[in-house]
Structure 1
Amino acid sequence: MTLWLFVIGLSVFYFLYVTHTRKDNKSPQKQKSVEKYVTTIDGQRRRLSSIFRSFVLSVADPANNNYLDATCEKPNPFLFRSFVDRFQSFEDVSHAMKEAGLFQCRLILGIDFTASNEWQGRVTNKGNSLHYISRNRQNPYQHIISVLQHTLKDILETDYENHMQSNHNDHDKSIKKIRSGIPVYGFGDSVTKDETTFSLQSDGHPCQNFEEVQECYRESTGQRSLGGPTSYAPIIHRAIELVEQTDQFHILVIIADGQFVNEGPTVKAIVDASFYPLSIIVVGVGDGPWELLRQFDDWLPQRQFDNFQFVEYAAILKDTNPKTADPILALHMFMEVPDQYEIVQQLGYISKQKETSKVAELDKNDSVL
């Protein structure tokens, strides 16, 4: 009861604050300032309304995964709210993936090569660049790739490559190249900047396994000059292209330091991606701040579904026993994937029957989780 009174009182106070306007002034310069102030207040009022509505709906429905309008079975932006982190272990997440029908999926990896990596590790990476490679310990990028290797080795569609090798048609061969391996892209270097991406493989093909991912990453850190500014839009749009070509559920993992100059293109890209069977996970490495990425995670109600998960790498390592750090990190990374997979099926992005039959065709006796 105390919490409700506090929320109601805070809402009333803030409403009175944002609706307060200054007295009119006939000076053109001051009049322009007043108009700008009123516009800002209007935006704050709309945001407060959205926050309050989301809070009430979250309390009413703790499962927090109802995005569909019951009358027309289509996404309703007024019902948007982020998924609740409801799992306690990575094993729980794996079981939920299986229950949702997600037996196998595709992975896309994005690596941040912006110049802010040079100073973003002053606190969390012992003063070193986040891309600094040592013989004694993995840098954050290498460590996260290792975590992906250990936790996703059974769920990635590595067997699908062998299934396609029996086809001799040129068209089928091109599909095989797209669907096999792990596409790994860099962004934000001095050449691509915030405009496009580059493949970590010199021939542009996906890496065939995580060992090759690590090798390509080490080579790229010595060959690429860090640049910027930071934008996730190029890597997200690249991922959308791959999803369109393969018509499969994909997980895009972006490892980045999160320093934005202009977040607008990234916001638009995240919204665009919500129209595809694509889960976006950003692992923030470095010192932060992370407020903007947390906003991407919890808000952006223009999205068709909650397709974005943010994980603060250093905070998890700090609060976790080193022996259990990897599964805990994986838990936070893939916490929302089961719910995301279910919702993309409800939205019609993926046919559940088609996905199930394809897995059965690949290997009827294989249990991947």
Structure 2
Amino acid sequence: MGGPSNKIQLSISCRNLVDLDTFSKSDPEVHVYMRDAKGKGYTLVGKTEMILNNLNPDFTKTFTLDYYFEKEQWIKFEVYDVDNTSLEHIGNSETTIAKLMTANKQTFIGDLTLPGGTASRGKIVVRADSVAMSNDEVSFTVRAEIQGQGGWCCGMDNPYLLISRARSGEIDSGIQQRDFMRVFQSPNVPASIRPVFGAHKMKMQQLCNSDMNLPVKFQVCNYRQAGNHPLYGEFVSTLSELSSHANSQFPLKNAQGQATGTIYFNNFTIIHRPSFVEYLRSGWFINMSVAIDFTASNGELFEPTSLHRQYPDGRRNDYEEAIFSVGSILEPYAFDRKFALFGFGGIPRFAGSSAVSHCFNLSGQPDPVVQGFATMFELYKKAVVGTGLSGPTYFAKVLQIVLDYMKANIQQQMYHILLILTDGAIHDMRETKDLIVECSKYPLSVIIVGIGNADFSNMIALDGDDVVLRNSRGEPTQRDIVQFVQFNDYKNGDFGLLAEEVLKEVPDQMVGYMLSKGIMPQQQPLMSQNTLQRFL
């Protein structure tokens, strides 16, 4: 099959959602699914953020997808009301990417209905835009001064910053006719008419689709618990204008065109970031480690529900599927296609041990390194029948071994990826957090794939997408190095999407480490004709 016709970015809104809350409004969240290539089922692409008390939400989380002109690509949107940790179904809508791309202004509007039902429970609005990729970032500090809306009858002033960008195909239309896509929302600043929104950094592609002249709208709104957030004021500019002055200010105007305040930018700069590929080309390589969970919570092999069960008909269990789908993608990047392969939480009887180990070599040899993911798969199958499942689930020992290895080889041009396959909650959270914060100073990414249906709240906390991870002394990670994915979200669909989700943050994490250390890719000399001839 040929490559995608284009990359597209989807922005999602909902309108007139049914209200499922008694004393407030629904707190909506949208889950996006793609049907796999074989038409067997839908696989999770991702989830929007949850928005409190809002029946007409505009989500800032966008989704970048490959668009194939020649394929029928079905996409499904499921909308839920989030109450604490439970989800109440609002409704679904399905369409194809082709229908979205041929809709008026590439905007799909669909009814949300419950499975088997016909009554509309609201509308979903999905806007598509082509993606102009760029690795560059935009950095700025922003604050505002506004005319207050507070008072004893109106509530307090709780301003927040909202950023939206125009869609690329509409730059010739007037400001009022342009359709802006929401790309960023800051936390609200309580009880202030001089809010400091702080320093921010975002991808140039996210902010303006890599187009210096694309209109970008900045709005300051007043957060209200009831869900309606009045506008203080707004202005529209471009990245070209904003970056031409390191420090600048712009008037905020309300819907009637009246001045309602001023917004101030400081140190608005464009940061030119090298790409992941440039570092690989300049001689950096990837060291790969894999750790597999052998704790008793996985279930004994003879149990029908065991996550390590070995099927007589050759079917792969979930651990094996994860090894195959992720390992096959990682293998070409691993140095010499080698992996350091560990187990944890089990008794490695195959290696002559009778005690539980929280990090043991699946090779059964002093050297944990094995050749290729196929060998890794076979060693797992041998080790699983020769290992006593035990526990508890500790991550710290594996992390410490990888950290020690990094420190010993810090002079090499080597970036490390640690893939952990595990079935649930860990029991050394404090030690694990301490080590992840320490590891964030070094060239490492940690990928955790959750197998089974256990409580993965600790893994979500380690991921640190919502709350910055801190160690026991309160020190934050220097950079985000953990990516958590739950295997069951992809179990009934295309495992290629699992690998994509697992690995998508690694390039940015690697480049982020390099820039934090001031390391730039070195230009490699071109291969001479004589050297090239020897390869041919």
TM-score, normalisation: structure 1: 0.60
Measured after TM superposition, the shift of residue 345 of structure 1 is 0.4
Once the two structures are superposed, the pairs formed by residues 231-270 of structure 1 within 5 Å of their partners are 231-247=394-410, 248-270=414-436
Measured after TM superposition, the shift of residue 272 of structure 1 is 1.6
Q: For 2:423 and 2:505, how far apart are their aligned partners in 1?
A: 21
Structure 2 CA distance for partners of 1:4 and 1:357, relative to 1, 3 Å: same
Supply the AA of the counterpart residue of 2:441.
Answer: F
Could you tell me which residue of structure 1 aligns to residue 315 of structure 2?
A: 137
Supply the AA of the counterpart residue of 2:340.
Answer: P
Out of 509, 517, 520, the position equivalent to 1:340 is 509
Q: For 2:526 and 2:298, how far apart are their aligned partners in 1?
A: 40
Measured after TM superposition, the shift of residue 6 of structure 1 is 5.7
Larger Rg: 2
Once the two structures are superposed, the pairs formed by residues 1-369 of structure 1 within 5 Å of their partners are 55=187, 61-63=201-203, 97-98=276-277, 101=280, 104-118=285-299, 127-134=304-311, 135-158=313-336, 181-190=338-347, 193=356, 196-205=358-367, 206-247=369-410, 248-297=414-463, 298=465, 299-301=468-470, 302-318=476-492, 320=493, 325-348=494-517, 351-353=519-521, 357=524
SS in 1 for 2:371: coil
2:420–2:446 CA contact under 8 A, matched in 1: yes
Structure 2 CA distance for partners of 1:54 and 1:268, relative to 1, 3 Å: farther
Measured after TM superposition, the shift of residue 58 of structure 1 is 10
Measured after TM superposition, the shift of residue 55 of structure 1 is 4.1
Q: 1:191-211: CA deviations, max 9, x gaps?
A: 664x74110112232101112
Deviates more, 1:140-149 or 1:96-105: 96-105
Highest RCO, 1 vs 2 (Cα 8 Å, sep ≥ 6): 1
Measured after TM superposition, the shift of residue 181 of structure 1 is 2.2
**Identity between Structure 1 and Structure 2 (%):** 26
2:358–2:394 CA contact under 8 A, matched in 1: no
Aligned length: 255
Q: For 1:204 and 1:304, how far apart are their aligned partners in 2?
A: 33
More helix by share: 1
Q: Which runs of 5+ in 2 are unaligned?
A: 1-24, 26-49, 55-184, 189-196, 205-273, 348-353, 471-475
SS in 1 for 2:417: strand
Q: For 1:284 and 1:143, how far apart are their aligned partners in 2?
A: 12
Q: 1:219-277: CA deviations, max 9, x gaps?
A: 11111111111111111111112222333101100000122234211111211211110
Q: For 1:198 and 1:358, how far apart are their aligned partners in 2?
A: 42
Could you tell me which residue of structure 2 aligns to residue 34 of structure 1?
A: none
Q: For 2:198 and 2:331, how far apart are their aligned partners in 1?
A: 35
Structure 2 CA distance for partners of 1:192 and 1:276, relative to 1, 3 Å: farther
Q: For 1:231 and 1:296, how far apart are their aligned partners in 2?
A: 14
Supply the AA of the counterpart residue of 1:306.
Answer: D
Root-mean-square deviation over aligned CA pairs: 3.8
Q: For 2:386 and 2:427, how far apart are their aligned partners in 1?
A: 25
Q: Which runs of 5+ in 1 are unaligned?
A: 8-52, 65-94, 159-179
Q: For 1:344 and 1:154, how far apart are their aligned partners in 2?
A: 22
1:110–1:253 CA contact under 8 A, matched in 2: yes
Supply the AA of the counterpart residue of 2:420.
Answer: I
Q: For 1:230 and 1:342, how far apart are their aligned partners in 2?
A: 31
Structure 2 CA distance for partners of 1:357 and 1:226, relative to 1, 3 Å: farther
TM-score, normalisation: structure 2: 0.42
